[in-house]
Amino acid sequence: FHLFCNIFSIPESNRLPASFELLHSFVLWAVTDPDRGDSILLISAIRAWHIAQGWLPPLSDVHHDRINWSLRRLENMQSSRQKPLHPPITLPMLMALKDSLLLSDPFDACVWAMASCAFFSMMRFGEVSISSRAAFTASKHLTRADAFFGFDL
């Protein structure tokens, strides 16, 4: 708890008695690192520290319920991810791709168009591609007729 307070520059006067908001933030910060231990043990230790210093327990039952609700939501967010996060594509990576493509080749030109559109539109690659030729529908997907060659004012 003191490490958290030091990292986030929490004044000593706000640490004891600790507010619900401070403890809530601490628990959410602490559970993101599995080496810091169980959140229930952390809250129990802070409760004991408050009582040993002569203060009332810092959290009511309602506060515990709110923290538990936040922890469940955080767990749901983390467990719903089925695949690991991919690192972001950077401009140097995009330029390396372009340098490796022969833009006079229609397939390479298509790959470059998809990659640059996905990058500059902040889209996932799956949003600019289809899973197979059979999945292509001209009314739903872009075609050559949709291309515009002109000036963008």
3-state secondary structure 75-133: HHHHHCCCCCCCCCCCHHHHHHHHHHCCCCCHHHHHHHHHHHHHHHCCCCHHHCCCCCH
Residue 82 sits at the vertex; the CA angle it makes with 77 and 87, to the nearest 5 degrees, is: 90
Please check the confidence at residue 35 and state whether its pLDDT lies above 60: no
pLDDT in tens, 80-133: 666 666 677 888 889 999 999 999 999 999 899 889 988 888 887 778 888 888
Q: What is the pLDDT of residues 36-64, one digit of tens each?
A: 557 677 778 888 887 888 887 777 888 87
pTM: 0.45
